[in-house]
Each structure stands twice: as C-alpha cells, then as structure tokens.
C-alpha cells in the first residue's frame, strides 16, 4: 500500500489506520446429533470454519471520520475489535498510528479508544465519578487534566448532575454519555465507535452527534463509526466503507450513496378522522388505512408535501423518517445484482 508515501508528497494528513488483507476465521465445534454423536465427539471432534472477515483492505487518514456500514453479521465489529487489539486476525496486517494493534503496545493503547454501544465499560455498582476515576488511574491521567476533561465533557453532554449517580441507576442515554466521557479521558487520537447511539432517544442522539462532530473538528481525532442510524452517518461522516460477508463492497463518498440510493424520506401521517383519499400525488404510497398513510416522498419535496398535508388533511400526527442503513445497503446490493 502506498497511501502513506502519497500523503507526504501531496501534503495530505498522514495515515492513521492502515489495513491490508485482514482476515479472521472462527473455528467452531460441530456437534453430531444424538447420544452416539455425543460419544463420538468425545473421541474425535469435527470443526467448521466461518470467515467473519475476508481479506479487508483500506486506509484512513488522521482527522478523518469514516462510516463503517453493513448488515448484521457483515464483520464490522470484528474489524473494530482487531483494530483495537481485542482480537488477533487469522492473517493479514494492520497498523494503527504505526502500531500493530494485537501486539497491545502500551503506547498504542494510550492513543486509541473503543466504545461499544451494546457493551458496558463502566463499573455497574459504582457512581459514575468513581468509574471515571478508575479509568484515570488505569490510563495514568494526571489529576488537573482529568478534572478539566471531566468538567468540559460533562457540560457539553449535559450530565454534570449525574456524576454521583450509580451507573446502574443512569438512564441508557446518560450511561452512554458517561461511557463516551470514559473513552475520551485520555484524549485518544483514534476513536473506534460501535453503535454509539443505539437505543438513545432522538434528543440524546442529536446531542451525542453534535458533540462528536465538534470534538472531531476541534481535535482532529480519527473516527471510525458503525451505526444503524442514517442520521449518525450523515452528520459525522463524509466517507463510508460498506462491508458485506466479510468483504469490502464500497469505499467512497457518502454523497454518492445518499444521492443515488436515499433520494426519498418516509412520511407517516395519522388522521383524527377517516380519510380515504388518493395520496399518490405525494409520492409512492407504501401502505394506507382509513386513519393513516405512509408515503415515500422525494427529499426535495418533503417540506412542500408536509405543508400541503397539514393545510388540507385532518392530521393528528406527522413523522418524517430516514431510510435505514440496511434499506440503503439493500438497494445498493440490488442495483449491483441487476447491473
């Protein structure tokens, strides 16, 4: 790979993450059915191999924020675990800030952070402040810097009054914000985010996105983000990498994916009285009942269609939704299959 040398000659930021032919195969025991099968398994075990990641290659420059997308089981989390050093690959190479991650060099661990939205990294039965204090000791962060970082981040995320609350008593949104603060205590240069807004309400999602966007802009932190929420990706990432069945399927600007495959939003209307009208002029009708309708509306017409609906229809509730990442990826795959 020649990206690093190209960066020197072009004046572009240096490469922070470089992956070349990374592969991870899981070996699992295949149990034979029945009692005799169990007995045979005691003497001779049969194994099957499943490739979770199959020859992945890409590079990410310092300060870049990249969306890492794919359906469930595509290999996203496995790649992040290898890049953070939690898992060793079957073959291939990777460098994070010049270090091989699975060597688990202390100098590298002090410069990266992995936040997994579905895993709890804080101590459940301690107040959030004490959990953060333990992280301070683990990373060797000095007291003045620790106090400054905690003060700044709790204010930005609006959780100053939650520091003395037991972690298990925090709401999901509050806990995720504390997890984010814990991940940033040591001011990492590379931030790996696996579903950081999963399960959060809309307000908490927006606050976390705004925080991450500001943090990336001010500190040039390299971010790699997986998410099932299109809003996360659109707000934070200009580039996306799509992975499916362990292989890179697409690597390029988000705009080229959104413009081609997410040109619509879903408008959901609920009526206070039965409204059996014809809604085809709004867009593609997805489903309709006397008291509700869901329409696929072109992005450019969403505001206009909403105004018209509120003016002439007995609307009791209105919602505009983004297509999910899975839907967009499915369209990409369908287009590729047809092509």
Of 235, 259, 283, the residue at which a domain comes to its end is: 259
Is residue 331 domain-resident?
Answer: no
Is residue 180 domain-resident?
Answer: yes
Of 259, 290, 311, the residue at which a domain comes to its end is: 259
Do residues 267 and 251 share a domain? no
Do residues 110 and 181 share a domain? yes
For the chain, the domain total comes to: 2
Check residue 1 and give its pLDDT: 39
Q: Is 56 exposed, middle or buried (0-12, 13-18, 19+ CB in 10 A)?
A: buried
Do residues 298 and 180 share a domain? no
Is residue 326 domain-resident?
Answer: no
C-alpha torsion sign, points 250, 255, 257, 260: negative
Do residues 269 and 229 share a domain? no
The pTM (predicted TM-score) of the whole model is 0.75
Q: Is 28 exposed, middle or buried (0-12, 13-18, 19+ CB in 10 A)?
A: exposed
Is residue 24 domain-resident?
Answer: yes
How would you write the pLDDT of the chain (339 residues) with one tens digit per residue? 333 434 444 567 899 999 999 999 988 766 767 666 666 666 677 767 888 899 999 999 999 999 998 888 889 999 999 999 999 999 999 999 999 999 999 899 899 999 987 777 788 889 999 999 998 998 889 999 999 999 999 988 889 999 999 999 998 888 888 999 999 999 999 999 998 888 788 888 888 899 899 999 888 999 999 988 878 888 899 899 998 888 998 899 987 777 677 778 899 999 999 987 889 889 989 899 999 999 989 988 999 999 999 999 999 999 998 776 667 777 776 666 565
Residue 210 CA to residue 150 CA, distance in Å, equals 18
Residue 48 CA to residue 95 CA, distance in Å, equals 29
Do residues 280 and 239 share a domain? no
Q: Which domain holds residue 204?
A: 3-259
Question: Based on C-alpha coordinates, what's the Rg of the chain?
Answer: 24
Which segments within 208-263 are labelled E, that is strand?
Answer: 222-226, 239-244, 247-253
Do residues 231 and 177 share a domain? yes
Residue 229 CA to residue 40 CA, distance in Å, equals 47
Do residues 145 and 163 share a domain? yes
Is residue 116 domain-resident?
Answer: yes
Backbone angles phi, psi at 200, to 5 degrees: -80, 150
Residue 314 CA to residue 301 CA, distance in Å, equals 20
Of 208, 229, 259, the residue at which a domain comes to its end is: 259
C-alpha torsion sign, points 107, 112, 118, 121: positive
Is residue 278 domain-resident?
Answer: yes
Residue 316 belongs to domain with CATH number: 3.30.70
Q: Are strands 222-226 and 65-69 parallel, antiparallel or unpaired?
A: parallel
Distances (CA, A) of 311 to 40, 283, 308: 73, 17, 5
CB neighbour list of residue 184: distance below 8 Å, 6 or more residues apart: 113, 149, 153, 191, 215
Is residue 107 domain-resident?
Answer: yes
Is residue 255 domain-resident?
Answer: yes
In the three-class reduction of DSSP (H, G, I as helix; E, B as strand; rest coil), residue 116 is classed as strand
Residue 77 belongs to domain with CATH number: 3.40.50.300
Helix (H) or strand (E) holding 93: strand 91-96
Do residues 236 and 278 share a domain? no
Do residues 161 and 20 share a domain? yes
Do residues 41 and 92 share a domain? yes
Do residues 193 and 65 share a domain? yes
Do residues 238 and 286 share a domain? no
Helix-strand-coil split of the chain, %, nearest 5: 40, 30, 30
C-alpha torsion sign, points 99, 69, 12, 21: positive
């Amino acid at each position: 790979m020649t990206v690093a040398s190209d960066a020197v000659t072009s004046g572009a930021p240096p490469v922070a993450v470089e992956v070349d032919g990374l592969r991870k195969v899981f070996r699992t025991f295949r149990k034979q059915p029945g009692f005799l099968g169990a007995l045979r398994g005691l003497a001779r075990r049969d194994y099957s191999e499943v490739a979770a990641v199959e020859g992945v290659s890409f590079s990410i420059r310092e300060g870049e924020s990249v969306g890492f997308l794919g359906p469930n089981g595509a290999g996203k989390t496995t790649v992040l675990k290898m890049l953070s050093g939690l898992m060793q690959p079957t073959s291939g190479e990777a460098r994070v800030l010049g270090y091989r991650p699975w060597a688990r060099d202390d100098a590298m661990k002090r410069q990266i952070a992995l936040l997994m939205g579905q895993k709890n990294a804080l101590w459940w039965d301690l107040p959030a402040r004490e959990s953060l204090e333990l992280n301070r000791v683990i990373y060797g962060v000095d007291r003045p810097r620790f106090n400054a970082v905690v003060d700044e981040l709790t204010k930005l995320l609006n959780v100053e009054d939650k520091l003395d609350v037991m972690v298990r008593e925090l709401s999901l949104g509050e806990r995720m914000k504390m997890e984010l603060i814990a991940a940033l205590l040591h001011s990492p240069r590379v931030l790996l985010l696996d579903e950081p807004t999963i399960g959060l309400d809309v307000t908490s999602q927006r606050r976390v996105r705004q925080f991450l966007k500001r943090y990336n802009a001010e500190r040039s932190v390299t971010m790699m983000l997986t998410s099932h929420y299109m809003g996360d990706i659109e707000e934070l990432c200009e580039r996306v990498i799509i992975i499916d069945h362990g292989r890179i399927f697409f690597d390029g600007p988000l705009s080229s994916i959104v413009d081609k495959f997410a040109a619509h939003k879903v408008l959901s209307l609920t009526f206070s009285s039965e409204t059996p009208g014809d809604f085809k002029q709004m867009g593609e009708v997805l489903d309709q009942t006397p008291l509700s309708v869901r329409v696929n509306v072109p992005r450019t017409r969403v505001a206009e269609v909403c105004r018209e609906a509120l003016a002439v229809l007995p609307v009791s509730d209105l919602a505009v939704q983004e297509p999910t990442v899975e839907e967009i990826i499915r369209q990409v795959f369908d287009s590729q299959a047809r092509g």
